[in-house]
């Protein structure tokens, strides 16, 4: 048996093992960013669940602010639709843009509500309002941390996928498109968690 007949099979085994390691790492990184999106989803759903409590508590005090309260509910519904779209297609640019737009609209509506509520000191002192406010603020912080973890995971996935030699095999293994970051229109606003004070 010659040396060349031993080298070719050994080389083939090394190449196959390397391709398997590329495939496994791509799958692992993709699963990591999909899991990170699931964490965002959990926190956003919690946020969306808290908003009706906020509006319901405010309703009793703000009888003349019906439009503001409806705007918050409409923005919440828009954000929920964006989240569902992103859930259905977590790597799609359009889905991430829809989610980011919905979240920006919701943050703006909550900001307007906060301004209007300044005229209602009894509401700000209400125990239920203080509790909902605290839960909402805590949830906003969790959303910010989950969003950062998601964007880090997406960056790791995209970076590995675009490196050589994985770039040669990524599409062959079903990893055609890059994952999209969850970015918001006003990044300065997102850097600081929204302040909801009542």
Q: Which of 84, 85, 82, 87 is nearest to 99 (CA)?
A: 82
The CA–CA distances, whole Å, from 127 to 48, 54, 56, 171 equal 20, 12, 13, 55
CA proximity to 132, closest of 49, 73, 44, 53: 53
- DSSP structure class, residue 87: H
SS3 65: coil
Question: Would you identify the CATH topology of the domain 33-191?
Answer: de novo design (two linked rop proteins) (1.20.1440)
Sign of the C-alpha dihedral, residues 107, 112, 114, 115?
positive
Average pLDDT over residues 23-32: 96
Q: How confident is the model at residue 108 (pLDDT cuts 50, 70, 90)?
A: very high
Q: 161: closest CA among 28, 11, 6, 4? A: 28
Integer-rounded Cα Rg, in Å, for the chain is 24
Is the confidence at residue 79, as pLDDT, over 80? yes
Angle at 95 between CA 93 and CA 101, to 5 degrees: 100
Cα–Cα–Cα angle for 165, 168, 172, rounded to 5 degrees: 130
Per-residue pLDDT at 127: 87
The mean pLDDT value for 7-14 works out to 91
Whether cis (ω within 30° of 0) applies to the bond prior to 165 is yes
Indicate the pLDDT class of residue 82, thresholds 50, 70 and 90. Answer: very high
Q: What is the pLDDT of residue 81?
A: 94
Q: What is the mean pLDDT of the chain?
A: 87
Q: What single-letter DSSP state applies at residue 185?
A: S
| 49-63 residue pLDDT tens | 999 989 988 888 887
Q: What is the pTM of this model?
A: 0.80
The pLDDT tens digits for 145-183 are 999 999 999 999 999 999 999 999 999 998 988 899 988
Confidence of residue 3 (pLDDT cuts 50, 70, 90): confident
Runs of H (alpha helix) within the chain: 3-59, 66-88, 93-117, 121-125, 127-162, 166-169, 187-191
- Confirm if 127 and 96 have CB atoms less than 8 A apart: no
Please, which pLDDT band fits residue 191 given cuts at 50, 70 and 90?
Answer: very low
Residue 190 has pLDDT above 60, yes or no: no
């Amino acid at each position: 048996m010659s040396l060349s007949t031993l080298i070719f099979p050994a080389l083939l085994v090394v190449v196959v093992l390397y391709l398997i390691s590329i495939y496994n790492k791509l799958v692992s990184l993709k699963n990591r960013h999909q899991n990170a999106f699931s964490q965002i989803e959990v926190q956003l759903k919690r946020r969306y669940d808290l908003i009706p409590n906020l509006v319901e508590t405010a309703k009793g005090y703000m009888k003349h602010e019906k439009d503001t309260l409806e705007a918050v509910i409409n923005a919440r519904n828009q954000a929920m639709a964006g989240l569902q779209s992103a859930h259905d297609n977590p790597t799609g640019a359009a889905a991430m843009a829809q989610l980011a737009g919905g979240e920006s609209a919701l943050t703006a509506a909550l900001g307007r509500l906060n301004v209007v509520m300044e005229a209602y000191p009894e509401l700000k002192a209400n125990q239920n309002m203080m509790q909902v406010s605290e839960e909402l603020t805590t949830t906003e912080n969790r959303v910010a941390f989950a969003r950062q973890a998601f964007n880090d995971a997406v960056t790791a996935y995209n970076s590995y996928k675009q490196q050589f030699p994985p770039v040669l095999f990524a599409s062959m293994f079903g990893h055609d498109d890059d994952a999209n970051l969850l970015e918001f229109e006003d990044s300065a606003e997102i850097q600081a968690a929204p302040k909801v004070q009542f």
